[in-house]
Amino acid sequence: MWWEKKGHLEINDKNHLSIAGLDACTLAKEYGTPLYVYNKQRIIDNFTAIKNAFQKHTDNFRIHYAMKANSNLEILKILYRKGANIDAVSPYEAKIAMDAGYPQKKIMFTGTSVSNNDLKMLVDDNIFINIDSLSQIRRLRKIAGNNLNVSLRWNPGMGAGHHSHTITAGKYVKFGIPESNLAHAVELIKESGLNLVGLHQHIGSGWLADDVLVFLKTVDRTIDTAAKVQDKIGHNLEFIDFGGGPGIPYRAEDKEFPLDAYAEGICRKVNSSPLKNSKIAIEPGRYIVGDTGILLLGINTVEDKNIPLIGVNGGFNTLARPSFYGSYHEMIVCNHTASENKKEFMVAGNLCESGDVFSENRETLRKLPIPHEGDILAILNAGAYGYSMTSTYNSRPKPKELLIDNKSAKIIRKETW
């Protein structure tokens, strides 16, 4: 199977799905479903792969984990011990990161439509702020006073992402300061007594090989812009942040993210520019945790209702991406993973909503081994924007989360209302 990865996802001798060496059916029976399962070693491996790719070209870089992808405390602690910094998009994420042990100096906040209350919380907690708007500059000066170090998020004019909702640069986008307003933003910062120490971009989330060339064009634009900003402020920028966005394969035909080309492209361009002494920052989230998480659901209904139907005990309150983005996730019937006795089904959740399906839409059926009621369905690549987008819609509790570490499993978040 295309999704098999030795030591992570395999088919065991019972023809069951195995996650990090443990039988998925056994995990579901012991801990109950819905259940998010994470492989600790896979998280470490993914983070280390990024770190190693950059270390081939520079030591002057840092990795900010985009914790909106998955903010479980245990996962944050794993990454902290491996040297991660944090990209937080709310003051509450910053507080969670601090609870996980991150010092304030390793946390950077980047938000949009930021309220005065948000700004005050961040200033009181001594969290570095990456400014998103002219309005934010004016209001931050009143809240923070003088001599606060800040950076600017600019919009480089082009974006990329797996869905229009995840593209964060370009014309019809709420994020960042457009080029036409950037000079004014720099002057406003100088007048406000704030200290500009960095420039930031982020073009979108979940892009793969074909989008790397687009991304590298924005790297050129950001480096050129940062050099002009340095001239205006009269000192070198401490860092230049190229945001996040590297994706993972969700389908068999998706290509692996070209990590080496990505890292080499950034480092080569920065090292040959006036920004060569500035630290490189990146903000991966999905790449680190996306394929490490598997959602296990119980199959409670197998019957024809005009169309063949598999009903499971979780819905878009448990995994929102298919309904919200029309996203594809590979599905596996854990009890007989490699069976050739297959049929096309609608895979539907238990919410009172017609759109509560785990396919791209209601008309897109999924060819799966024919299951029995009581079997377990696994939804792969659910580690990023899975649990973090859960809700208690229909007054159903949020699922449990389980971490596998060296073939030992422990609950890292209980079922919650």
pLDDT over 90 for what percent of the chain? 76
Confidence grade of residue 173 (pLDDT, cut at 50, 70, 90): low
Q: Taking residues 231-240, what's their average pLDDT? A: 92
pLDDT at 175: 64
Of 240, 258, 289, the one marking the end of a domain is 289
pLDDT at 287: 97
Alpha carbons 39 and 41: distance in angstroms, whole number:
6
- State the Rg of the chain over Cα: 22
- 327 and 201 co-located in one domain: no
- 281 and 372 co-located in one domain: no
Question: Which residues participate in catalysis according to the annotation?
Answer: 352
- 151 and 33 co-located in one domain: no
pLDDT tens-digit profile of 82-92?
A: 999 999 999 99
Average the pLDDT over each of 36-50, 106-120, 154-168, 286-300 and give the range with the smallest value: 154-168
Structural domain span for residue 376: 9-39+290-413
Residues 347-367 as b/e (b if ≥16 CB within 10 A, e otherwise) read bbbbbeeeebbbbeeeeebbe
**Ranges assigned E (strand) in 313-415:** 331-333, 342-348, 366-369, 376-379, 400-405, 408-413
pLDDT at 163: 46
Confidence grade of residue 174 (pLDDT, cut at 50, 70, 90): low
Q: Taking residues 24-37, what's their average pLDDT? A: 98
Q: How many domains does the chain have?
A: 2
- 113 and 233 co-located in one domain: yes
Confidence grade of residue 178 (pLDDT, cut at 50, 70, 90): confident
pLDDT at 169: 46
pLDDT tens-digit profile of 340-349?
A: 899 999 999 9
Average the pLDDT over each of 45-49, 171-175, 201-205, 356-360 and give the range with the smallest value: 171-175
Q: Taking residues 376-381, what's their average pLDDT? A: 98
Q: Taking residues 74-97, what's their average pLDDT? A: 98
Domain of 26, CATH number, reads: 2.40.37.10
Give the predicted TM-score (pTM) of the model: 0.94
Domain of 209, CATH number, reads: 3.20.20.10
Q: Is 126 left (phi over 0), alpha (psi -120 to 50) or beta?
A: left
Find the angle CA(186)-CA(198)-CA(202) to the nearest 5 degrees.
100
